[in-house]
Amino acid sequence: MTDKRPDRFAFQQLIDKVALRLSGWKRGLISRAGRIVLASSVLSMIPIFFMSIFKLPSWVITQIDRIRRNFIWKGGMTNGSGLHLLSWDRVCLPKQCGGLGLLNIKLHNISLLLRWLWRLPPPSRNISLLHAIPRRHELVPAPWSLEDDSWFQAAQNIPLSPGIDKLVWRWTTNGKFSVASTYKQLILAGKHSFQFVNFWKLKVPPTVKLFLVLLCHGRILTQEQLLRRNINVDPQCHLCGQLVLETSNHLFVHCVFSSSLWSMLQLPGLEDLQSLFELLNALPTNVRNSTLIATAISGLWLERNSRIFRDQRRNMQAVHDWMVHEATLFMKSC
């Protein structure tokens, strides 16, 4: 370990390594859900060694995030046409909070560096020593320079029992520092009340889970969403044929085609899309029903796309039978 900060060339090598890793994949053949897994498991892990020792400059994080962002939404093409359907902040939120679970490099960097602070000898009761340590060792970021310094606020509230110099980390039950607990606190700062359906627990393929997350965030490219992006559309629902603006609520709930399908699946009288999500939330242990609902929602979108882009359509009974069949397969294989 060294206290010498890497030069710009060393950091550029790190970025190049991340970019090079991308070129090894046949990106056009990987689904978006697959690209998210790769971006999480490989791209995010490469800089761990650096991040454990050095504070990454913001320009390095910006470039690595740009590579990851393009890989997920555009398949790695710098000039591709893939729309960025979720904000990067949301992409980096934990899955149980409605995000895609990618590592937030900046916050993970801070979490890893704080481990060194924890490993140093316990400070005296003068908490100002905690301020001095980072600067003296130049290993951790100066906490007062952070926009969100909630982590340091917690450190300042560390309880020191009378007569016993024992440092207690308040974010773990055993009082010992852990990178995971620190990262979790940082990434969830201010978002504790955020309730979200954890689609990632459903027994359906990753592509279906990702579709549900995007749908829940209102980011599926229905005609309504295309219009918001200033893309011209001819208002029409391709499931029922009515000349109405295709919204998520119409397409998945209010449409005659969809509502008939939900009746066939013993779910009549749904109010809106939110009521479907609430059903999914209420059925975490009912694998068959939750899998069937998730499969049916994504199946309606597939049927809609099949009609628009391949000019192929199935009748209600065929769509219903196909969904039940798919859901049965998912329950066995996922």
Positions in the binding site for Zn ion (CB under 5 A): 237, 239-240, 255
The DSSP string of 200-248 is GGSSS-HHHHHHHHHHHTT-S--HHHHHHTT-------TTT--SS---H
Record the tokens describing residue 264, joined without a space.
Answer: 């066939």
Mutual angle of helices 105-119 and 179-187, in 10-degree steps: 140
- Alpha carbon dihedral 136, 183, 86, 78, in 10-degree steps, equals 50
Q: Which is nearer to Zn ion, 24 or 269 (CB)?
A: 269
Sign of the Cα torsion 103, 106, 107, 108 reads: positive
CA 56, CA 67: separation in Å to the nearest integer?
Answer: 16
**From CA 311, how far away is CA 300, in angstroms rounded?**
15
Cβ at position 307, least distance to Zn ion in Å: 11
In whole angstroms, the minimum distance from the beta carbon of 260 to Zn ion comes to: 11
Distance of closest approach, residue 246 Cβ to Zn ion, in angstroms: 7
CB of 254 to Zn ion, least distance (A): 7
Least Å from the CB of residue 211 to Zn ion: 19
Q: Are 52 and 112 in contact (CB under 8 A)?
A: yes
CB 54 within 8 A of CB 141: no
The token pair that represents 112 in the structure block: 């890893």
174-197 residues labelled b (16+ CB within 10 A) or e (exposed): eeebebebbbbbbbeeeeeeeebb
Closer of 210 and 255 to Zn ion (Cβ): 255
What is the smallest separation between the CB atom of 197 and Zn ion, expressed in angstroms? 24
For Zn ion, the closer CB: 155 or 255: 255
Residue 102 or 255 with smaller CB distance to Zn ion: 255
Q: Report the alpha-carbon distance of residue 279 to residue 122 in Å, rounded.
A: 50
For Zn ion, which is the closer residue by CB, 178 or 242?
A: 242
Least Cβ distance, residue 157 to Zn ion (angstroms):
55
> In sequence order, what are the residues at sequence separation of 6 or more whose Cβ sits closer than 8 angstroms to the Cβ of residue 9?
none
What is the DSSP-derived secondary structure letter of residue 251? Answer: I
**In contact, 15 and 67? CB cutoff 8 Å:** yes
Smallest separation (angstroms) from Zn ion to the CB of 250: 6
Give whichever of 53 and 240 is closer to Zn ion, judged by the CB atom.
240
Q: Which is nearer to Zn ion, 195 or 315 (CB)?
A: 315
Closer residue to Zn ion in complex, CB, 74/254: 254
